[in-house]
Amino acid sequence: GAVVSQHPSRVICKSGTSVKIECRSLDFQATTMFWYRQFPKQSLMLMATSNEGSKATYEQGVEKDKFLINHASLTLSTLTVTSAHPEDSSFYICSARGLGGGKLFFGSGTQLSVL
């Protein structure tokens, strides 16, 4: 079945540095990918919709300059947390929807800890 690979699974960084998270669709082309943030024991919060070859669509309240999204190919979307601060520490998850409006396939998530 379709697989979405998310890397890294865990990252610890210093405050003020930037962190890049990759989301790859391994055996299918994903024109649309989604990025979510999840706090402990809470629901997923959709951050943005990443569209191949165009700008991402950000949800209200999500800072575009803080969370840079690039979807340069049909199999790769990246989320860069710029100038990370401790309040950015969270679990980030990506997903990709298969062609034809199929079900979502999820990455395994990235636990970001900013010291």
Partner 1 sequence: AQSVAQPEDQVNVAEGNPLTVKCTYSVSGNPYLFWYVQYPNRGLQFLLKYITGDNLVKGSYGFEAEFNKSQTSFHLKKPSALVSDSALYFCDVMGRRALTFGSGTRLQVQP
Residue 76 binds partner 1 (CB under 8 A): no
As a whole number of angstroms, the distance between CA 36 and CA 23 comes to 12
Binding residue for partner 1, selected from 97, 110, 112, 114, defined by CB under 8 A: 97
Cβ closest to partner 1, residue 84 vs residue 95: 95
Residue 40 binds partner 1 (CB under 8 A): no
Binding residue for partner 1, selected from 47, 69, 79, 93, defined by CB under 8 A: 93
Strand, coil or helix: 19: strand
- CA dist list (Å): 64 to 1, 35, 77: 33, 13, 15
Q: Which two tokens stand for residue 106?
A: 């999820």
Q: Which two tokens stand for residue 1?
A: 């079945």
The residues with which 112 forms a beta bridge, in sequence order, are: 11, 90
Residue 43 binds partner 1 (CB under 8 A): yes
Binding residue for partner 1, selected from 21, 23, 30, 32, defined by CB under 8 A: 32
Pairing of strands 110-114, 90-97: antiparallel
Cβ closest to partner 1, residue 14 vs residue 43: 43
- Contact call for residues 95 and 4 (beta carbons, < 8 A): yes
Cβ closest to partner 1, residue 68 vs residue 91: 91
Cβ closest to partner 1, residue 43 vs residue 53: 43
Binding residue for partner 1, selected from 34, 58, 67, 92, defined by CB under 8 A: 34
